[in-house]
A = this chain, B = another copy of it.
Amino acid sequence: MDVGFIGLGRMGHNMARNLCKAGHPVRVYNRTRDKALALQQNGATVVDSIAAACQADAVMTMVSDDQALEAIVFGAEGILKSLRTGAIHVSSSTISVALAERLTQAHEAARQSFVSAPVFGRPEAAEAAKLFVVAAGQEALLQQCQPLFDAIGQRSFKLGDRPSKANLVKLSGNFLLAAMLESLGEAFALIRKGGVDPQAYLELLTSTLFNAPVYKTYGAMIADEAYEPAGFTVALGLKDIRLALTAAEGHSVPMPVASLVRDHFIEAVAYGGQDKDWASLAGICARNAGL
């Protein structure tokens, strides 16, 4: 499948490369061209405009937030203007439910197709093509996109016709991760002040009740108090919790743990921690305990 790819940050770069590796012809575009050039060795065609990236069966976008995606889609030479009738915009960014709804309508009005396919996984997982793809959109479109999902991820999940459902699920998943970080932060603050060895505690937790990779990965960062370099920053974590809370308010769902996590992310930012890994939420818990 001929595919364009826009947004070559740490995640996007790895995803685009895996699309190349899987044999798809990929036209890559990035605002700063350097990042695109690195993919030439993988067989990607570097293009100089969004419009050029859109000369394909599908264009995949992976950018940092709503604002970035809005600029790419609704801009003067944007996707909406450039994509041919029937072609698919596959959005993998973590964006708001509201923007997903708006994109669905805008693409439909333009006789284009839209699929939401946000992913779970940190950059290392993206590199190893081990992402989990959470997809929603019309069934026929999802089937067309399956080869793309297979190229970037270890498994994909279909959540029905309405693209925004995938975004809601993605946001809820990031909320659950942040809630885990906060909870672990509180638990580690407690046992550390109680004189228990954090590494022994981590070993106990992750080999008994919580033997999931996320607990191991993040638990190790927390036990080591090593929050740099960031795989996923506090600033992005805060953005996603904000989007989750906005979506929740739209559905009239109180989410007190999300509210609390938001407050702690803001506290982290107040102390200049916006670029640390979001696991540093646990550092806020430690700090508030006087550690």
A residues neighboring B (CB under 8 Å): 97, 120, 132, 134, 155, 157, 159-160, 162, 165, 168-169, 172-173, 175-177, 179-180, 182-184, 186-187, 189-191, 193-197, 200-201, 203-205, 207-215, 238, 242, 244, 247-249, 251-260, 262-264, 266-267, 269-272, 285, 288-290
Contacts and interface: CB of A to CB of B under 8 A. Distances in A.
Given A253-B266, A259-B262, A289-B252, A244 B190 contact: yes
The complex is assembled from copies of this chain, and their number is 4
Contacts of A203: 157
Given A176-B210, A255-B186, A267 B288 contact: yes
A155 to B, nearest CB: 7
A168 B200 CA distance: 13
A270 B289 contact: yes
Contacts of A214: 209-210
Nearest to A210: B212
Given A205-B176, A290-B270, A255 B190 contact: yes
Contacts of A285: 254
A208 B168 CA distance: 16
Contacts of A289: 251-254, 267, 270
